[in-house]
């Protein structure tokens, strides 16, 4: 695994990558808010690390520090436009794969706030060339308790809850995580200022999702604390991907918001990689143009 950076239009973009010699496919992993690509390499727990699990199964993983994070944090004022962030990410992907094998193609995986960038990428014209899309730790409606606590603090004129309460709001029950990982001290990173405004992107979700033309997998932990959990919420989110040939939803047992950092992270990663493999097979056996594939959808 290597931790490095590249430059696109004078903006440095850092990343962590694990390269499989002859990959089945490439997973581009996009972290959520308040962290960076370290999210996909759980500190001190190699068995919970996507960057270590995936290559052992033949998948290359590129975990990019989203524009405004990592080395590009000092250039955050240049990446406030969502279209530009999509262009930068695709440009970084192209550069990293220019001389490397990528197997059946690129599978896009995103967590929480990273889902905004991922869905925008998949909704672009070139997004149709992706193998598939995994989004997790996001949704259409916030968890009632999360909304209530944020509203309470807003009424008191407090910008955000105290650190301990913020941790509990975002992570969920502590027993779901290794003790030295819970709270995110080991993976924390400053967020760009634009992210506060980008949170409203869910209003655009129906329009964006309707333009996604690849298989979609959506995961929530059964102890999700930020977004409304449960079967109804899962199906509601999936329903907006009306152009996707297959949409699958999954509630990950014994998991909180930060799926890639909990005790169940390996199980979660294996499930995502299994779906990525299905997408590779689907691409290899793609039906001729004009054949209806709607029967492949699942709730």
Average pLDDT, the chain: 90
Q: What DSSP state is assigned to residue 136?
A: E
Residue 244 domain flag? yes
Q: Is the pTM of this model over 0.85?
A: yes
Q: Shortest CA distance to 138 belongs to which of 258, 298, 246, 39?
A: 258
Whether the pLDDT of residue 155 is over 70: the answer is: no
pLDDT band at 86, cuts 50/70/90? very high
CATH code, 203 = 3.40.50.1820
Whether the pLDDT of residue 144 is over 90: the answer is: no
What residue has token string 């014994």? Answer: 254
pLDDT, residue 199, reads 73
Number of structural domains in the chain:
1
pLDDT, residue 151, reads 52
Residue 20, domain extent: 2-142+175-296
Relative orientation angle of helices 82-97 and 114-123, to the nearest 10 degrees = 80
Whether the pLDDT of residue 149 is over 80: the answer is: no
pLDDT, residue 290, reads 39
Mean pLDDT of 117-139: 97
Lowest mean per-residue pLDDT among 15-24, 77-86, 92-101, 179-188: 179-188
pLDDT, residue 169, reads 74
Residue 156 domain flag? no
Angle 225-230-232 (CA atoms, 0-180°, nearest 5)?
Answer: 130
Mean pLDDT of 216-239: 94
CB 246 within 8 A of CB 190: no
Residue 162 domain flag? no
Half-sphere exposure of 254 (CA within 13 A, CB side): 11
pLDDT, residue 154, reads 44
pLDDT, residue 287, reads 55
Residue 153 domain flag? no
Whether the pLDDT of residue 213 is over 70: the answer is: yes
pLDDT, residue 161, reads 43
Residue 207: CB atoms within 10 Å: 10
183 phi, psi to nearest 5 deg: 105, -25
Burial of residue 10 (number of CB atoms within 10 Å: 0-12, 13-18, 19+) = exposed
> Taking every pair of C-alpha atoms in the chain, what is the biggest distance, in angstroms?
59
Whether the pLDDT of residue 297 is over 60: the answer is: no
pLDDT digits (tens, 9 = 90+) for 173-211: 999 999 999 999 899 999 999 998 877 899 999 999 999
pLDDT, residue 170, reads 83
Length of the chain: 299
pLDDT, residue 150, reads 57
Residue 114 domain flag? yes
pLDDT digits (tens, 9 = 90+) for 258-296: 999 999 999 999 999 999 999 999 999 875 543 333 333
Residue 50 domain flag? yes
Residue 247 domain flag? yes
Residue 79 domain flag? yes
Whether the pLDDT of residue 10 is over 90: the answer is: yes
Element (H, E) at 207: helix 205-209
């Amino acid at each position: 695994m290597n931790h490095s950076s590249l430059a696109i239009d004078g903006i440095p973009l850092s990343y962590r990558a694990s390269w499989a010699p002859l990959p089945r496919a490439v997973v581009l992993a996009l972290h959520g808010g308040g962290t960076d690509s370290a999210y996909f390499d759980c500190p001190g727990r190699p068995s919970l690390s996507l960057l270590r699990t995936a290559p052992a199964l033949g998948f290359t993983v590129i975990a990019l520090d989203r524009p405004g994070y990592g080395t590009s944090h000092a250039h955050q004022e240049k990446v406030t436009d969502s279209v530009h962030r999509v262009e930068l990410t695709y440009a970084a992907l192209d550069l990293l794969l220019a001389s490397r094998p990528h197997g059946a193609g690129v599978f896009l995986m995103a967590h929480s706030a990273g889902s905004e960038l991922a869905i925008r990428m998949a909704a672009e014209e070139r997004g149709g060339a992706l193998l598939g899309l995994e989004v997790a730790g996001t949704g259409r409606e916030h968890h009632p308790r999360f909304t209530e606590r944020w509203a309470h603090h807003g009424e008191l004129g407090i910008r955000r809850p105290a650190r301990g309460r913020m941790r509990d709001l975002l992570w969920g029950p502590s027993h779901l995580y290794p003790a030295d990982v819970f709270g995110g001290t080991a993976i924390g990173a400053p967020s760009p200022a634009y992210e506060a405004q980008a949170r409203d992107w869910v209003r655009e979700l129906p329009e964006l999702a309707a333009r996604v033309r690849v298989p979609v997998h959506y995961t929530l932990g059964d102890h999700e604390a930020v977004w409304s959990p449960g079967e109804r919420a899962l199906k509601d989110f999936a329903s907006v991907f009306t152009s996707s040939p297959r949409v699958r939803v999954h509630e990950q047992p014994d998991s909180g918001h930060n799926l890639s950092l909990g005790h169940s992270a390996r199980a979660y990663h294996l499930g995502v990689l299994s779906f990525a493999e299905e997408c590779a097979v689907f691409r290899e056996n793609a039906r001729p143009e004009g054949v209806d594939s709607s029967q492949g959808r699942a709730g």
